Amino acid sequence: MSQIRQVDDLNIESQQVLITPRALKEKLPLSDAARDAVVGGRQVIRDILDRKDPRLFVVIGPCSIHDPKAALEYASRLKALAEEVDDALFLVLRVYFEKPRTTVGWKGLINDPHMNDSFKVEEGLHIARRLLLDVAELGLPAATEALDPTTPQYLQDLIAWSAIGARTTESQTHREMSSGLSSPVGFKNGTDGSLDVAVNAMLSVQYPHRFLGIDPDGRVALTTTRGNPYAHVVLRGGGGKPNYDSVSVALAEGALHKAGVSTNIMVDCSHANSNKDPSLQPLVMENIGNQILEGNTSIVGLMVESHLNEGNQKIPENLDDLQYGVSVTDGCIGWQTTEDAVRALANKVRDVLPRRDR
């Protein structure tokens, strides 16, 4: 009987060594203007989480980035809107390069920048870093999902806020990584709606961890973290039900309080909170505004999926057929709706925010 004698790499087809984080940063260095945007953005978010700044922070932008040109056009529009509502809301651009898939699908610009299964990851890392620099140089803070545990070594210096997604909040690897992130971090509740996984993540992330990571030269390194004091939960609904309503928010606040972790809550207006119907997001935003008017003190931030144009599209065979400024992952609200909903939220909460009980 013939046996396979090989015992390792049976299912590995190939490996390709990539540019190191240090080399990428040398090629695309942080400018002073970009540094100001990152440092300033993180500080405002920390101040909001510490209740020193009464504003709400709003992570808003495309579900995923596939076209840096459209992303920059969106960023410059958002910058103008951010200045307009600055007294009530702190807008942070959603710049998601890594997509966690329920099963399979396009995994985002870093993984496959040409959207044709060519997986030019090194090019993806360059494009991502270039775009984050351009966004920061506009003076806009950026938020991203930290999905691959090695990616932060390449990009985290340009990130003001990070998310751990619903599919990875329960993962020890992601909790460990988050304990070393330089930015504040939001943990989504589970896709089944379970808050426990996010509460447990909060209990874990505040502590130092030791784990295998990579160093700036791409070498495997025992990584010792300090713990991240700026973590909070993100309610995104799940299991077919939303959890942004006042009862769900109060229950979440109670559970966080009982666990002895931060009761700061962000509400994701998309995903299961809008039953994946992007046009419902403004209703969620309106509801959160009403909860704040009615005295809620735990909600500190919102997430909104928005693009230049509404809806979404399948990635076409021929990329020339892509519609400009339309999401290729989850559906988004378009720009006009975005402006209207953000202005409406700012107008609703502007006067009450400074008087919120802390």
Ligand X SMILES: O=C[C@H](O)[C@H](O)COP(=O)(O)O
Ligand Y SMILES: C=C(OP(=O)(O)O)C(=O)O
Closest approach, Cβ 329 to ligand Y, in A, equals 7
Kindly tell me which residue out of 126, 209, 236, 307 binds ligand Y, with binding defined by CB under 6 A. 236
Tell me, what DSSP letter sits at residue 322?
P
Is residue 143 a contact point for ligand Y (CB under 6 A)?
no
Tell me which of 34, 58, 166, 185 binds ligand Y, using CB under 6 A: 166
Mention every residue, 6+ apart, whose C-beta is less than 8 A from residue 108.
Answer: 64, 65, 96, 97, 98, 99, 124, 147
Determine contact, residues 53/40, Cβ cutoff 8 Å: no
Which of 11, 102 has the CB closer to ligand X? 102
Figure out which of the listed residues 119, 330, 353, 356 binds ligand X, where binding follows CB under 6 A.
330
Q: x/- binding map, residues 269-298, to ligand X, per CB under 6 A?
A: --x---------------------------
For residue 101, give both structure tokens.
Answer: 């898939």
* Shortest CB 193 distance to ligand X, Å: 14
Shortest Å distance, C-beta 222 to ligand Y: 29
Cα distance between residue 187 and residue 178, in whole Å? 9
Applying CB under 6 A, does 318 fall inside the site for ligand X?
no
- Collect all residues with Cβ–Cβ distance below 8 Å to 324 and sequence separation of at least 6: 67, 70, 308, 309
Q: Name the region of 207 (left: φ>0; alpha: ψ -120 to 50; beta: rest).
A: beta
Residues in 179-218 at the binding interface with ligand Y, rule: CB under 6 A: 188
Using the rule CB under 6 A, is 102 a contact of ligand X?
yes
Which of 100, 216, 227, 311 is the binder for ligand Y (CB under 6 A)? 100
Binding flag, residue 229, ligand X (CB under 6 A): no
- Torsion angle defined by CA atoms of residues 90, 107, 174 and 253, in that order, rounded to the nearest 10 degrees: 50
Work out whether 165 is an interface residue with ligand Y (CB under 6 A).
yes
Q: In terms of Cα–Cα distance, which of 120, 166, 132 is closest to 147?
A: 166
317-356 residues near ligand Y, rule: CB under 6 A: none
DSSP 3-state of 325: coil
Which residues of the chain form contacts with ligand Y (CB under 6 A)?
63, 96, 100, 145, 165-167, 188, 236, 268, 271
